Amino acid sequence: GPAVTEDSLLAGTVPFKRIYADTDFSAKTMLKFVTWNVAGLRAQGRADEILKFVTEEKPDVLCLQETKLSDIADSAKLVNLAGYTFTDNISTGKKGYSGTRTYIRDGVKVDSTSTGFGDGKDEEGRILTSTVDGMHIVNSYVPNSGMKLDRLEYRVEDFDAKMRAYIQKLQSTAPVVWTGDLNVAERDYD
């Protein structure tokens, strides 16, 4: 068949168009959430990128995924941001894999944090929940099904079902903001 080009992939897609302006945000009455798959906190220049971004955007909550941290003592030394505290959920099952981190701006009251589906069981470090300002913020790095779909059954039958039940449980106590890399886009342009 015909060669696949970037133009042919993008044909028929609609470019993302932001519907809100920066002026629509009110720091007095709203919290600013940002989520970012960093593909490794140790990546070359990543700390500088994060610092620059936070300085420019000033999020109240910054949720990172795929931190690839495996040692909690070592992770505490990486990418400390003035004016923020962070919590990590590291991969204990596989070194240099997965992981989530949530930064919360000083002054935003954190009521609690938990890992996994509220049970603390999350050896891949995929779910980190912070309860702030009367809401649950779920920072998640949803498993990829894999190029050969070898994790598809786990993703659909196990992880997705547990995530659905977990969010429903949280919703019964307070509003939920679900952030993260949800691994729902098939291609980069999605």
Residues with a known catalytic role: 141, 181
Q: Helices marked H in 45-174 — which ranges? A: 46-57, 72-75, 152-153, 160-171
At residue 87, what are phi and psi to the nearest 5 degrees?
Answer: -125, 140
Identify the DSSP state of 101.
Answer: E
147 sits in the region (left: phi over 0; alpha: psi -120 to 50; else beta) called alpha
Distance (Å, whole) CA 25 – CA 32: 8
Edge-to-edge order in the sheet of strand 135-141:
110-115, 127-132, 135-141, 176-181
